[in-house]
Amino acid sequence: MNQTTLTPTELANEGKTFYSQGNYYESAVAFQNAANGYESAGDQLNAAEMLNNCAVALLKGKDYPTALQAVEGTDAVFASAGDIKRQAMALGNRGAILEGLGRLDEAIDAYDQSAALFKQIGEHEMRVPILRSLSNLQLRTKRPMESLMNFDAELGEIEGLTTWQKFIRKILRLQMKLLFRS
């Protein structure tokens, strides 16, 4: 079927199908077309959601510059609508894209904002991978204290820690206690 004759919802479903098949470029095109359709209909929220999905598909395809263009401004659309969850998701995606581009300080800022928003709305499960990415990136950029604190926060968000995770958390807390006591 010709994409120009599909509704934005049909295009979004097509984008999801392409994505699940690993066809990230086709997925991104379908999501971009869906965004254009929603934009034409005056539906800014769904247009931003489709652009965010487009950015994720491009991220998976490692087309970081185009992914960054797609995600730009989506967090602001969600913020103005009071949709904190999708704002946090967009910032997390932006962080991953910036990390892929090697813009590590900007990625840390985006991840940090995302984690704070997820915390604000109590989205613990969605916060965990953001904290993990933030912690790993801080370790790579030689910020070990921030990395340890975010790793500890990540473990604090997980319900039912394994014995190993509990052990690691105790060691982290002991290490931080010793470091901050000096």
Per residue in 24-78, pLDDT (tens digit) is: 999 999 999 999 999 999 999 999 999 999 999 999 999 999 999 999 999 999 9
Count of domains observed in the chain: 1
Alpha-carbon distance 24 to 55, whole Å? Answer: 10
Task: Determine, yes or no, domain membership for 30.
Answer: yes
Per the structure, the complete domain to which residue 61 belongs is given by 1-72
136 close to 154: Cβ distance less than 8 angstroms: no
Task: Determine, yes or no, domain membership for 25.
Answer: yes
**Residue 50: CA atoms inside 13 Å, Cβ hemisphere, count?**
26
Provide the pLDDT for residue 144.
Answer: 66
Whether the predicted pLDDT of 15 surpasses 60? yes
Provide the pLDDT for residue 12.
Answer: 98
Alpha-carbon distance 61 to 46, whole Å? Answer: 22
Task: Determine, yes or no, domain membership for 123.
Answer: no
pTM over 0.75: yes
**How does pLDDT run across 84-143, given as a tens digit for each residue?**
999 999 999 999 999 999 999 999 999 999 999 999 999 988 988 898 888 888 777 776
Task: Determine, yes or no, domain membership for 54.
Answer: yes
According to DSSP, residue 143 is labeled -
Provide the pLDDT for residue 1.
Answer: 47
Residues in contact with 102: Cβ distance below 8 Å, sequence separation at least 6, in sequence order: none
| 179 confidence band (pLDDT: 50, 70, 90) | low
Task: Determine, yes or no, domain membership for 133.
Answer: no
Whether the predicted pLDDT of 147 surpasses 60? yes
Task: Determine, yes or no, domain membership for 90.
Answer: no
